[in-house]
Amino acid sequence: MFLLTGLVILSAGIFMVRKGRARTRELGRYEDKNRLEDGSIHFSNIESERTHGANKNLSVVIAALGFFTALFGLILIGYGLNIFTHTM
């Protein structure tokens, strides 16, 4: 039971990390494409700048939560494989 649940949680965590990192890279490419000569990033209005910043922060949070979700899945897999049992 722990093994199957751990595999499902691990795969969900890996999915979250991959999606978060992909979105962060996508937003970084947007920044590189719209960077001005002085190093600032051009946005059409203040609302799009705030939305961009919020999306970037959200993708970092999703990737971090995915990492900890995957770690929890690995722990459950360890319990399913009896790695954490102590025999005397």
Per-residue pLDDT of the chain (88 residues; tens, 9 = 90+): 899 999 999 999 999 999 999 999 999 999 999 999 999 999 999 999 999 999 999 999 999 999 999 999 999 999 999 988 877 6
DSSP string covering 53-74: HHHHHHHHHHHHHHHHHHHHHH
Q: What is the pLDDT of residue 88?
A: 64
